[in-house]
A and B are shown apart, each in its own frame.
Chain A
């Protein structure tokens, strides 16, 4: 029998891998992919909590759908920005996006 804990640990693992990828990769597209991993981990958490604590209501599912929407919007705009930056600076390396610095 696998309880809630198993799903939560899976989600935590997925989240931490995504976090590591977001910190440690140079390519900005890779960073975006890692962010997607983290979002998926969050969705697993929502669905698992919904399944085990209140299966009668589907609040967790609906939240998951909203996260899909937001993630899709985020990735679309994010990639658009990446392409735009690539056009102007010819790089996808996050370390070259240091224009936030004074």
Chain B
């Protein structure tokens, strides 16, 4: 098990990065913070002994998705980057709401007292492989088709269809 002295600093850092994502007024800064958050989450996965997911997190999120977002920012660039990511009029009310929501969830988590034993973790990578090509074969295939459709859809949406 992980010591709180390792976990909580990492957790606080992730939360700070995440707050940075929503707080910065320059969307490029936000995107940078997002990448850092993703990396932090990957560290959390390692703490949870899910190494494969940590790799995937780095690859897919910190790599691919971040690059996609940066490209999107570039393609929709405005002249003044410093004011590219402002708040709208819901800022304060949604802040209050989100804090309340957070409090609610924390209270539920702290009062629910889930009981569990200390269990050892085996080889997760092999188990995931077994799962994906065994029990979850068909969802896996469907996910592949979904990705294919998403690619085609994204291309059509951005390029447009020739009449």
Contacts and interface: CB of A to CB of B under 8 A. Distances in A.
> Is any CB of A less than 8 Å from a CB of B in the complex?
yes
Nearest to B71: A79
A95 B92 CA distance: 17
A53 B22 contact: no
Given A25-B88, A61-B53, A2 B34 contact: no
Select the residue from A1, A62, A86 with max chain B CB neighbours within 10 A.
A62
Contacts of B11: 6, 9-10, 13
Contacts, number: 232
A32 B69 contact: yes
Contacts of B53: 43, 47, 61, 64-65
Contacts of A57: 127
Contact of A47 (B3, B4, B45): B45
B79 interface: no
A58 B131 contact: yes
B61 A36 contact: yes
Given A83-B75, A92-B76, A75 B120 contact: no
Given A18-B18, A47-B48, A55-B120, A75 B41 contact: no
Interface string B54-94: 00110011001100110111011010000011111011001
Nearest to B20: A17
A23 B98 contact: yes
Interface of A: 1-10, 12-21, 23-27, 29-30, 32-34, 36-37, 40, 43-44, 47-48, 50-53, 55-59, 61-62, 64-66, 68-77, 79-84, 86, 92, 94-95
Given A15-B105, A81-B157, 18 more contacts: A6-B11, A14-B37, A19-B94, A20-B22, A36-B34, A44-B44, A44-B45, A47-B48, A51-B48, A53-B114, A55-B121, A61-B131, A65-B56, A68-B60, A69-B143, A69-B146, A75-B69, A76-B153
Q: Closest 8 CB pairs between A and B?
A: A73-B150, A21-B22, A23-B94, A80-B157, A80-B154, A16-B102, A20-B98, A12-B105
